[in-house]
Amino acid sequence: MVKNLFVSAICAGIAAGLLASVLQFTFVIPVLLEGELYETGARVHFSTDGSPQSDRGAPSLGSDWTRHSMTVAFNIVTYTGYGLLLAALISFAALKGITTSARQGLIWGLCGFIAVQLAPAIGLPPELPGTIAAEVGQRQLWWISTILASATGLGLIAFGRSYLPLAGVILIAIPQLLGAPHLDMFFGVAPPELAAEFATLSLGAAAAGWVMLGYVVAATLTRLET
């Protein structure tokens, strides 16, 4: 069984990591590079003359293949780790008599996206480079707590009986009601439209990666165990 977990996680991690990388290079990284122009001061929004306008346009990806290769490698390693967790959860559910088909794996992947990416992004959305935020330790604590609460809550909703699904909803809501740590004022240097676009595209790429992850994990486990 352990071998099956690792094989499925590696296959799914490679597939999801490559898909996420393609989407990031196509949509997310150009916006990221444009944000870096404002971070370094090469481009200024709300300049000294008081104008709220600034040029739009991302620089080319360039030929920094070391950076691009690290992005792909990081995506594969990250999704492989998530895939291992997902495979372990699916296998644990199988021991309880809950079988998971490849199509149902899509739902597992979507739930993983909700717990790990979407729920934390409600309070701490993906940020452009140079964004000033609250103390990193406080944000990390809230981020981890939100993931654990959301994942547990989704599990109670999916598999709980009696009042447990309601408890799952409450558990998911608690971190959001407590609120993520934020500063008392705004310090943005980039256009808010660019920040919103970056957050949306980042979440979209992550959603596609997670759905691919869930599908391949479930499909590979099904094939290996038959």
| Gap between the Cα atoms of 68 and 133, Å rounded | 26
Q: Which of 180, 172, 174, 184 is nearest to 124 (CA)?
A: 180
**Cα angle at 214 between 210 and 216, to 5 degrees?**
115
**Cα angle at 14 between 9 and 19, to 5 degrees?**
125
In this structure, are residues 97 and 14 in contact, taking their beta carbons and an 8 Å threshold? Answer: no
* 28 Cβ contact list (under 8 Å, min separation 6): 198, 201, 202, 205
State percent of the chain over pLDDT 70: 95
The pLDDT-based confidence of 33 (bands split at 50, 70, 90) is very high
pLDDT per residue as tens digits for the range 80-89: 999 999 999 9
End-to-end Cα, the chain, rounded Å: 12
The pTM for the full model equals 0.92
The pLDDT-based confidence of 156 (bands split at 50, 70, 90) is very high
Give the per-residue pLDDT at 134: 85
* 69 Cβ contact list (under 8 Å, min separation 6): none
pLDDT per residue as tens digits for the range 58-109: 777 877 888 899 999 999 999 999 999 999 999 999 888 888 899 999 999 9
